[in-house]
Structures are given as structure tokens and as C-alpha cells.
């Protein structure tokens, strides 16, 4: 998922865990020089000229770096990392005293082990299938990342707007079908200007079999006029802070398998604990780390959706991969769905007694509805959670005449996808059959097929076109906020942009319609790919979009992986979680739900934590 300085820090869930491109595994590692790639100005609002190219050069400079903006009439003064480092140890953590550093590392590892900040160890064969086998701490940054509070608040304010946008886009079936099947002709792409109007059918669905299958399911739902009256979305919008423009730019919007709400919440608490414990040495205020309620908010949204389904004996079905080393992040969510929070003890006893002595399903449903109307009396989810792969759902699932989904003998109220976002999740027709079965049912899907398609790269690029947002949003202020965070996005039928990409590929990222990390194309590979498409005259270009490459600030940090710390230069990406629940015309929830900060070595071209490129981090507001 995503693209950024060298990439995004994507968080779909391939099975390998860890952090790539680290330095030699030793107690203390030398600082890696990570120079900025040159960026020439492409447009007035997004592309700016670079300044000092390496962290070490910036640290050695005690004066202001002066940047002359291309096309601007003013000169901007930018503080160096060296100035910041005097005030804040997070700006230069590599200078932390060795003895103190070792104490921090030890206590962080203990905390992680005791509090469940763990993943499956990829070196242990059964760590992705059997809970408790081969656990290792999740990769994390030792200290939180300094981040501008104004930009963090901006990202949080965008969450409800994007939630609503996804819902409205999902209801426009023609827009989804037309956008993902749009002509993107190689004749138009590489022909002379005078021949650009010549088109041939290079449909996304023709050159991308995976997207094609998703579109087929969506088309079938349109044909039978399948209405999703109760719609649940658990999203994450990912951003990077562009250093030169100081703009918060969106990398992508994830509508399926927005992972790590559990572990990201734990990393925030880990950092708060370390800052409290070492307050005298670090001189940092733990209250400047925002409370991260991602996992509890997601659980609350799933519980509300389950309640709306209105059957207390129904279950929440989580669709998972057969081997999942990130299972503990998922189990945190499952646990909260079943957990009983503190409330009036007498009310709890009454509720338990009702469950023990219920005479009929109708009586049970009556009390269920009573407590649903008065949640303050009994603050509990008590939801049964079932985990199944798509293969298991195909074997155990059935659809009743009224649309009820039964899996393993249990009625399913909510289907929550933590798999199903990549072609590898559908190795045979059995898995596609399971996905179709789910979509045809009356169960609440998270996401539905239309929500899934609304989060594709192509739809992201379509929404960035002039006047398209106005099709879905009425509030002019909301439209302006959303448009302000858009990075440059283009289809490959934009001839002028393609010419510029071939001449300056370092300024762009080429992105396929894929989730999960490790799929994007960078640097000179972008030029080579475009030239290959040009020489072959292929329709494959319709499966890609082009995105402006973002150049975030490079900062020194300390990364933890497999019990070893690494001193690195790194870049970070901020993800803001959002939850949306609607029943017909009534919006029951539209919230910002915590955050995910991922940090990776600045030289890495990809950035997924689960894919082994990045580590989990948190925010220190400044």
C-alpha cells in the first residue's frame, strides 16, 4: 500500500514480519548517510527544490538553511536538525548516552513481552498458525517521532470526511464500473499529439485479472439490485509530510484490512511508559503522545454493527489468511469484542442471570433490545468471534433463502476482512466462491465489494480530477480540505505527464491496483517500465497510475528488531484510522479512531511493517 519518499509504509498483511535494510546487527551501529534525491519543481503547490542533502551535513550546520522556492518571490528560512537537537533528544537520539540507551532498550523489550506487543517469528515454522508459538516483539521505534501538532490535527479532521466520501462513492455503481473499466489506450498514450483521440479498449479489468474478478462480483450485485442497508467501514488514510512544502499529502486510502489497530495502540503506550520512567533523563512529556484508541474504536464499531444486525446469537466472522504472523494484532480486537468493561456490578449480574434463565429466543431478543437502548447500564460487547479463511468459508458456508449467512453452523452478523485484498488470497475458484457467497448474503460486510473498490488506486486518481469530488460532497470547505491533501495523481493516458516521467522518473511512483506493500515501481525502473509498455504497445498501462513522489523529512532514529537496536536515518508515514457505520439514512458512527505511525530506513523503497520494511512508531506532538 502506498508510495512516499522511497515508498509508503504500507500495512496490508503479507505474512513476513520485520524490518528490512537495517545496518549490521550490533549493539551500536554507525549512522547511515541517507541523502535526499533531487526534486525539481513540478507544480506550484507540491514540488519544491531540495536543500541540504544529508542528516550529518545538517547537524554540522548551526545556521539557518535558506531555500529559494522555484517560482516563488520569497525566501523561506528552515531550521536545521542541529538546532532542534539541542532542545529535544528525539531530534538526535543517536547521541543518547550508551548506558541509558541500553536501559531503554531492555525495558522496552520487557514491556513489549508483558503487554502483548508481539508478532510471530518468521524463523519459526508454526508461528503463523499456532498462537503462542514463536512469538517475538513487533518491530518498533525506541522513541516516538516528533510531529507537528497542526498537521496531526489536520489529518484527524479529514477522517470523517473521507469516511463519508467512501460511503458515497460506494453507492455510485456506475462511477466505480466506469472508472475501473475506463479506456486507457496505448495508442493515445504513445501516439503523436494529433493522434491522441484514437482509442482502443485497454480496460483495467482486461489487463488486471484480480480487479476484473472484483468488478464481476460488483456487477452481479448491481444486476440483482443488492442493497447494503447497514454499511460498515474501518478505514485508514495514510499521509506523509512533505519537507519542502510542509504539506500533509495523502499516500492512499485503505478500505480493506486496515491493520495494526491493536499493536499501534500498544506502541503509543510503550512510549508513554518509557517517557514517564526516564522523564528525568529524557526531559520529555509523555502527555504529548496522543492517546491511541484505534483498537477500542474499531471494536466499538464492530460491536455496534453486530447490534444493528439484531440477533444476539449471531457472530462476527473475521476473514483471515491461513498463515498469519500478525495474528496478535487481530486477537487484540477479538478480545475487546468479548471483553466486559467496568460498569454497575448489579446490572452485570442481572444480565448474566437473564442469559442463564432465558426461556426463548424471543425473550432473549427482548432483553437484548432493552440493553441495546441503554448501553450505559451495561457497557459490554460480549460478541462471539469466529476466524475463518476464504477456503474454510467456501467449505462450511451456506446461504439461506432469506439471505442469512451460515458458516460452521453459526449465523454471521458481520464479516470483517483481514484478508481478501490480494490475488494470493484467492488461489482457486473456491475462494472466489466464498467472496461471492458473502456478498450475496445479508451479513454486514467490512468492507462490502463496493467499499473495497472505492479504495483502489484508480478511484483515488479519479477523485483527484477536477470537479469529481463535487459529485460526492456538497460542503465546499470539506472539498477544499480533501483536495488540499491530494498529491499529484495521473493516469497513463496523460501524454504530457508521461513525457515528464520518462525524463524525470525520480519524481514519480508507478502504482498498480494492489494492496499489501512491495508492489510499487520507483526511480529508473519507472522509465524502463514505461518504455517497455511503449515498445510492446501493450494494454497493461491501464493497470497502473502515476503518483507524485513525496520527499518527507529524514530524521535520525533508533529501530528495534529481533531484540537488537539499530541507529538509522529514517522517514515516517502517518495513518489515521476512521470508523463509519450507517443504517439506511441514519449515520450511527463517523469517527476518527486513533493513528498508526510507521518509520522505515530512508533508503528503503518499500515500507510495510508486515512486509518487513518498517517499524511501528508513535507521535510526539510539537
Closest C-alpha to 419, from 543, 515, 331: 515
518 is in an annotated binding site: yes
- As a whole number of angstroms, the distance between CA 276 and CA 287 comes to 9
| Contact (Cβ atoms closer than 8 angstroms) between residue 578 and residue 162 | yes
488 is in an annotated binding site: no
- As a whole number of angstroms, the distance between CA 364 and CA 369 comes to 9
Phi/psi region, residue 336 (left: phi>0; alpha: psi -120 to 50; beta: rest), is alpha
The catalytic residue among 304, 511, 527, 567 is 511
Number of C-beta neighbours around residue 242 at 10 A? 24
- As a whole number of angstroms, the distance between CA 481 and CA 392 comes to 43
| Contact (Cβ atoms closer than 8 angstroms) between residue 612 and residue 17 | yes
272 is in an annotated binding site: no
220 is in an annotated binding site: no
441 is in an annotated binding site: no
324 is in an annotated binding site: yes
Q: How far is CA 126 from CA 6, 135, 325, in A?
A: 33, 10, 9
Q: Is 515 a catalytic residue?
A: yes
483 is in an annotated binding site: no
Q: Is 205 a catalytic residue?
A: no
The catalytic residue among 2, 516, 578, 594 is 516
512 is in an annotated binding site: yes
601 is in an annotated binding site: no
Would you call 84 helix, strand, or coil by DSSP? helix
Q: Is 236 a catalytic residue?
A: yes
560 is in an annotated binding site: no
How far, in whole angstroms, is CA 256 from its chain's centroid? 9
341 is in an annotated binding site: no
List Cβ neighbours of 470 (8 Å cut-off, separation of 6 or more): 479
173 is in an annotated binding site: no
Residue with the three cell numbers 450511527: 588
- As a whole number of angstroms, the distance between CA 583 and CA 260 comes to 27
C-alpha cell at 198: 484514437
3 is in an annotated binding site: no
C-alpha cell at 194: 494529433
433 is in an annotated binding site: no
- As a whole number of angstroms, the distance between CA 453 and CA 178 comes to 12
The catalytic residue among 56, 598, 604, 605 is 598
Would you call 444 helix, strand, or coil by DSSP? strand
194 is in an annotated binding site: no
Q: Is 61 a catalytic residue?
A: no
122 is in an annotated binding site: no
429 is in an annotated binding site: no
98 is in an annotated binding site: no
How far, in whole angstroms, is CA 576 from its chain's centroid? 8
254 is in an annotated binding site: yes
325 is in an annotated binding site: yes
The catalytic residue among 243, 252, 392, 540 is 252
Q: Is 128 a catalytic residue?
A: no
Which residues on adjacent β-strands are paired with residue 248? 241
18 is in an annotated binding site: no
511 is in an annotated binding site: yes
**Phi then psi dihedrals of residue 558, to 5 deg:** -125, 120
| Contact (Cβ atoms closer than 8 angstroms) between residue 568 and residue 559 | yes
523 is in an annotated binding site: no
534 is in an annotated binding site: no
- As a whole number of angstroms, the distance between CA 595 and CA 248 comes to 15
Would you call 387 helix, strand, or coil by DSSP? strand
C-alpha cell at 559: 529501530
Number of C-beta neighbours around residue 286 at 10 A? 18
The catalytic residue among 170, 259, 286, 448 is 259
393 is in an annotated binding site: no
The catalytic residue among 164, 228, 462, 515 is 515
- As a whole number of angstroms, the distance between CA 282 and CA 275 comes to 7
| Contact (Cβ atoms closer than 8 angstroms) between residue 444 and residue 408 | no
The catalytic residue among 205, 236, 304, 527 is 236
The catalytic residue among 48, 445, 457, 561 is 457
The catalytic residue among 6, 112, 237, 254 is 254
List residues forming the annotated binding site for substrate: 236, 256-259, 324-326, 330, 418-421, 598, 609-610
Pick out the residues of the known binding site: 236, 252, 254, 256-259, 324-326, 330, 418-421, 457, 511-520, 522, 547-550, 573, 598, 600, 606, 609-610
Residues of the binding site for ATP: 252, 457, 511-520, 522, 547-550, 573, 600, 606
Binding residues for Mg(2+): 252, 254, 515
Q: Which residues are catalytic?
A: 236, 252, 254, 259, 457, 511, 515-516, 598
Amino acid at each position: 500500500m502506498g508510495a512516499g519518499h522511497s515508498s509508503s509504509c504500507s500495512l496490508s498483511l503479507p505474512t513476513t514480519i520485520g524490518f528490512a535494510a537495517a545496518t549490521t546487527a550490533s549493539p551500536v551501529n554507525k549512522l547511515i548517510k541517507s541523502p535526499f534525491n533531487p526534486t525539481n519543481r513540478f507544480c506550484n503547490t507540491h514540488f519544491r527544490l531540495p536543500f541540504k542533502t544529508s542528516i550529518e551535513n545538517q547537524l554540522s550546520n548551526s545556521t539557518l538553511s535558506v531555500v529559494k522556492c522555484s517560482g516563488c518571490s520569497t525566501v523561506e528560512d528552515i531550521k536545521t536538525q542541529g538546532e532542534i537537537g539541542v532542545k529535544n533528544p528525539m531530534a538526535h537520539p543517536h547521541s543518547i548516552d550508551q548506558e541509558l540507551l541500553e536501559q531503554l532498550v531492555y525495558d522496552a523489550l520487557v514491556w513489549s513481552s508483558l503487554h502483548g506487543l508481539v508478532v510471530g517469528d518468521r524463523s519459526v515454522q508454526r508461528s503463523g498458525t499456532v498462537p503462542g508459538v514463536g512469538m517475538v516483539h513487533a518491530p518498533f521505534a525506541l522513541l516516538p517521532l516528533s510531529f507537528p501538532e497542526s498537521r496531526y490535527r489536520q489529518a484527524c479532521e479529514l477522517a470523517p470526511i473521507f469516511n463519508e466520501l467512501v460511503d458515497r462513492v460506494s453507492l455510485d455503481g456506475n462511477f466505480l464500473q466506469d472508472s475501473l473499466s475506463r479506456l486507457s489506450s496505448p495508442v493515445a498514450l504513445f501516439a503523436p499529439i494529433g493522434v491522441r483521440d484514437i482509442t482502443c479498449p485497454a480496460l483495467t479489468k482486461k489487463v488486471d485479472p484480480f480487479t476484473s474478478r472484483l468488478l464481476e462480483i460488483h456487477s452481479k450485485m448491481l444486476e440483482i439490485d443488492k442493497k447494503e442497508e447497514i454499511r460498515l467501514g474501518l478505514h485508514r488514510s495514510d499521509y506523509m509530510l512533505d519537507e519542502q512544502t510542509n504539506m500533509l499529502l495523502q499516500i492512499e486510502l485503505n478500505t480493506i484490512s486496515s491493520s495494526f489497530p491493536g499493536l499501534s495502540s500498544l506502541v503509543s503506550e510503550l512510549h508513554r511508559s518509557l517517557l514517564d520512567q526516564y522523564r528525568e533523563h529524557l526531559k520529555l512529556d509523555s502527555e504529548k503522545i496522543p492517546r491511541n484508541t484505534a483498537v477500542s474504536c474499531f471494536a466499538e464499531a464492530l460491536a455496534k454493527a453486530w447490534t444493528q444486525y439484531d440477533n444476539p446469537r449471531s457472530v462476527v466472522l473475521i476473514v483471515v489468511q491461513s498463515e498469519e504472523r500478525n495474528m496478535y494484532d487481530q486477537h487484540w480486537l477479538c478480545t475487546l469484542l468479548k471483553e466486559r468493561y467496568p460498569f454497575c456490578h448489579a446490572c452485570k449480574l442481572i444480565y448474566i442471570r437473564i442469559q442463564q434463565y432465558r426461556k426463548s429466543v424471543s425473550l432473549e431478543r427482548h432483553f437484548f433490545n432493552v440493553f441495546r437502548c441503554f448501553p450505559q447500564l451495561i457497557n459490554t460487547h460480549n460478541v462471539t468471534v469466529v476466524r475463518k479463511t476464504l477456503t474454510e468459508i467456501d467449505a462450511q458456508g451456506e446461504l439461506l433463502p432469506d439471505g442469512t449467512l451460515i458458516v460452521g453452523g453459526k449465523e454471521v452478523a458481520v464479516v470483517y476482512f483481514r484478508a481478501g485484498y490480494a490475488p494470493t488470497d484467492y488461489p482457486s475458484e473456491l475462494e472466489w466462491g466464498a467472496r461471492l457467497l458473502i456478498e450475496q448474503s445479508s451479513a454486514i460486510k467490512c468492507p462490502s465489494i463496493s467499499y473495497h473498490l472505492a479504495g483502489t488506486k484508480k478511484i483515488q486518481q479519479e477523485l483527484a480530477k477536477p470537479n469529481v469530488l463535487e459529485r460526492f460532497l456538497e460542503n465546499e470547505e470539506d472539498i477544499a480540505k480533501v483536495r488540499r491533501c491530494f498529491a499529484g495523481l495521473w493516469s497513463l493516458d496523460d501524454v504530457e505527464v508521461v513525457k515528464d516521467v520518462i525524463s524525470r522518473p525520480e519524481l514519480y511512483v508507478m502504482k498498480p491496483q494492489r494492496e499489501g506493500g512491495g508492489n510499487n515501481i520507483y526511480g529508473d525502473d519507472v522509465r524502463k517500465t514505461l518504455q517497455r509498455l511503449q515498445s510492446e504497445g501493450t494494454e497493461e498501462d491501464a493497470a497502473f497510475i502515476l503518483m507524485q513522489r513525496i520527499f518527507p523529512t529524514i530524521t535520525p532514529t533508533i529501530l528495534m528488531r529481533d531484540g537488537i537496536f539499530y541507529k538509522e536515518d529514517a522517514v515516517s508515514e502517518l495513518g489515521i484510522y476512521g470508523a463509519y457505520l450507517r443504517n439506511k439514512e441514519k449515520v450511527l458512527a463517523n469517527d476518527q479512531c486513533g493513528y498508526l505511525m510507521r518509520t522505515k530506513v530512508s533508503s528503503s523503497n518499500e515500507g510495510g511493517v508486515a512486509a518487513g520494511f518498517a517499524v511501528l512508531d508513535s507521535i510526539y506532538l510539537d
